[in-house]
Amino acid sequence: MPTVIATISLKGGVGKTTLTGGLADFLAGVFGKKVLLVDLDAQTNLTTMMIGQERWLACNARRQTVATLFADVLDGTRNFDLESSVQRDVSTVSGLTGIDLLPSSLDLIELAEELSAHRVAADDHLAAVEVLGNALEPVAGRYDYILIDCPPNVGPFSLNGLAMAGGYLIPTIPDVLSTYAIPHIQRQVAGFGAELGRDIVELGVVITKYRVGSTLHQDTVRRLRRDPTIQNVLPAYVHEANAIGAAAEFASWPSVHAKYGYHGHYEQFRDLTRAVMVEADAKLSATSRSSRAHSIN
């Protein structure tokens, strides 16, 4: 079964989508893993980053997006077709295969309100939170990793991503405003996991847009590392750089190294990806063993 990781932040502009797409590039292009990206964010940034606006518009017109899946729940229809909706080998790196994408849609904006109302009407906080996981079950075994880009809230789509995920990452810029909501995310995810009857493991806080010469960034990272409520700050950071920003644009690249730059940024993202793999392997394997032992007892 794949390792399923959600990326979530309540603060916009912290590089959540760049992180998710970058992890996919390195998992597939450097470590040889098969990856499925799932874009649950109505801003569609991950989708357009991977397949461009023209291809996304075509998918949206054909209703080959995750929005159709959730619309089926609300309308009682069966229009969502998983095989045609998943876009194959979407990396913008030439010759790089192994990354697939389930695209997002702007239609999620309205669907979020309707789905929330549906859950209220059902008087069940867990109503419709396993829609995504159930839909992807037939293809999950094809992948080593499933990376889920959640919207910047803990609404119905984020809950679907978290319900499917074994663990989650919290990307943050190391400043006061960006880190302020981290405890709220932790409480929300922990409470939701308790309702599901299992742990959703915090794999770590990922430092993004880090400025080496910034005293504020240095002090904030030290504060986060000393904070007992934060289980882990991953040791590799994504530095603020033009190369990282450019990597989030839809463009063709000759190699992963060329896409992420030749001034240490490739190495930073590679080391971060390795750290995520190590954390996921250690923590999620331990959680799985604990769950099996609990079920036996």
User: Tell me: the pLDDT tens digits for 52-76?
Assistant: 999 999 999 999 999 999 999 999 9
pTM assigned to the model: 0.93
Q: Is it the case that residue 295 has pLDDT exceeding 60?
A: no
Side-chain-facing half-sphere of 94: CA atoms under 13 Å: 6
Non-local CB neighbours of 31 within 8 Å, separated by 6+ positions = 273, 274, 277
Of the pLDDT bands very low, low, confident and very high (cuts 50, 70, 90), residue 287 is low
Residue 291 lies in a domain: no
pLDDT (tens digit per residue) in 17-38: 999 999 999 999 999 999 999 9
Give me 269's structure tokens: 């993202």
Give me 198's structure tokens: 């299992």
Give me 154's structure tokens: 């803990």
Give me 164's structure tokens: 């499917």
User: Cα separation of 112 and 118, whole Å?
Assistant: 10
Residue 89 lies in a domain: yes
Query: Rg of the chain's alpha carbons, rounded to an integer?
Result: 18
Give the other-Cβ count within 10 Å of 130's Cβ: 15
What value does the mean pLDDT take over residues 231-260? 90
Q: What is the pLDDT of residue 293?
A: 39
Give the other-Cβ count within 10 Å of 95's Cβ: 9
Q: What is the pLDDT of residue 77?
A: 96
3-state helix, strand, coil in the chain (%, to 5): 50, 15, 35
Residue 290 lies in a domain: no
Sheet holding 145-149, edge to edge: 99-102, 35-39, 145-149, 3-7, 167-172, 201-207
Residue 292 lies in a domain: no
Residue 148 lies in a domain: yes
Asked if residue 16 lies in contact with residue 171, where contact means CB atoms within 8 angstroms, the answer is: yes
Q: Count of domains in the chain?
A: 1
Q: Is it the case that residue 116 has pLDDT exceeding 90?
A: no
> Which amino acid belongs to residue 149?
D
Residue 8 lies in a domain: yes
> Which amino acid belongs to residue 165?
A
Side-chain-facing half-sphere of 174: CA atoms under 13 Å: 27
Q: What is the pLDDT of residue 43?
A: 95
The whole-chain average pLDDT of the chain stands at 92
Residue 272 lies in a domain: yes
Residue 82 lies in a domain: yes
Q: Is it the case that residue 281 has pLDDT exceeding 50?
A: yes
User: Cα separation of 125 and 159, whole Å?
Assistant: 10
pLDDT (tens digit per residue) in 212-228: 999 999 999 999 999 99
What value does the mean pLDDT take over residues 119-123? 72
pLDDT (tens digit per residue) in 169-223: 999 999 998 999 999 999 999 999 999 999 999 999 999 999 999 999 999 999 9
CATH at residue 274: 3.40.50.300
Alpha-carbon dihedral sign for residues 238, 244, 247, 248: positive
Show the domain range for 265.
3-285
pLDDT (tens digit per residue) in 249-277: 899 999 999 999 888 889 999 999 999 99
User: Cα separation of 271 and 278, whole Å?
Assistant: 11
